[in-house]
Amino acid sequence: MIDLLSDTVTLPTQEMRQAMFVAEVGDAGYDEDPTLNRLEALAAEMLGKEDAAFLSSGCQGNLAALLAHCPRGHEVIVGDRSDLYDFEAGSVSVVGGLVLHPVPTEADGRLSLDNLRSAIRDKSDYQCAPPGVIVLENPHCQRGGRVLPASYIKEVRELADEHGLPLHLDGARIFNAAIASTKPPAEIAEAFDSIMFSLSKGLAAPFGSMVCGPRPFIDRVKRYRKLLGGGLRQAGFMASAGIVALETMVDRLVEDHRRAKLLAEEIGDIPGIRLESPVIDTNMVFFRLERDGLSVPNFLVALSQRDVRMGTLREGVVRAVLHYLISDDDVDATANAIRSVLQAEPR
């Protein structure tokens, strides 16, 4: 099966498995796990921040970061097509007591400055939940993996400063953004007070996400990590795979991006396929079906019968995500499978 459902389907490399087997561990609850400490120091260094915390997932990482930024009852200003708003089980509100304030998401993943400005309520108005934090997503998952321009991030940073608000980045795939923009990840992260990134997507570790920021902030994140059930003991077994991911899997992401562009080129001219965007920034390809009588669910079933798996994040749109387990031959086979489905007689 050529599995393009997500880059979360990646399996740990042999080097990761070996590192986990021989990892030096201790009790992380007492800060005595040397491998975990090394991972957190490495993540902080790569993102240009003072400290970092290892958490079980991106959902837990975002939640702990937002709780560390603002008290209960404050607003989290976020895109209406962000993963934080759509796919994190409402945890920010259910567990954190924070109010999600959605802002329309543009086609390239941006939240317009005018809409952001309108979303920032007057802190002195006791009738409204006060603004607490602004959240951006980069690359933007539901907008085809698009990368936010540095000039735009700078403008949002200035707006946040104008209103005294922290700026958090859901950077689950920040290393994809760095590769796509040919910038060091620390340069992208510089404008943000805090960053969450995932180890278990394109980097292929089996577990975990990181939150990076100033040390006092990370101290608060670690307290919320414990509160949320994320306190681990011999965490070095999992942290060791994260170290290998950061040291060996970042530079090769360029291959995933190249193959995503190749897939888009190969399927873009197939009758009945319309690419959502002509621009492929990272490792995702989104497209729509334009053949009468063929629904997305039926298309996905027919594709799976040809040993290709894809998925959908919103109605009418198919998503393919490239990762290290996919080869050039797999891309060719995927394009042929799509062509076969579109050419088949409707039932």
Among 119, 55, 52, smallest CA distance to 85 is for 119
Q: Would the pTM of this model clear 0.85, i.e. be above it?
A: yes
Query: Buried b / exposed e across 333-345, counting CB within 10 Å, b at 16+?
Result: bbbebbbebbeee
Structure confidence at residue 346 as a pLDDT band (50, 70, 90): low
Structure confidence at residue 314 as a pLDDT band (50, 70, 90): confident
Q: What confidence score (pLDDT) does residue 277 get? A: 87
123 pLDDT more than 90: no
Q: What confidence score (pLDDT) does residue 19 get? A: 98
Distances (CA, A) of 301 to 151, 294, 307, 308, 325: 42, 11, 10, 9, 22
Structure confidence at residue 291 as a pLDDT band (50, 70, 90): confident
Give the residue carrying structure tokens 């915390």.
Answer: 53
Q: What confidence score (pLDDT) does residue 342 get? A: 93
Q: What confidence score (pLDDT) does residue 347 get? A: 59
Give the residue carrying structure tokens 């240009």.
Answer: 48
54 pLDDT more than 70: yes
DSSP letters for 77-120: EEETTSHHHHSSTTHHHHTT--EEEEEPPPTTS---HHHHHHHS
Contacts of 189 (CB under 8 A, 6+ apart): 47, 48, 49, 169, 171, 174, 195, 212
Q: Express each pLDDT in 153-168 by its tens digit.
A: 999 999 999 999 999 9
Mean pLDDT of 273-283: 95
Task: Kindly state the tokens that stand for 320.
Answer: 């393919």
195 pLDDT more than 70: yes
d(CA 267, CA 289): 11
> What's the distance, CA 309 to chain centroid?
20
Domains and CATH numbers, the chain: 7-248 (3.40.640.10), 252-343 (3.90.1150.10)
Residue 328 DSSP SS3: helix
Mean pLDDT of 296-312: 97
Is residue 203 within 8 Å of residue 15, measured between CB atoms? no
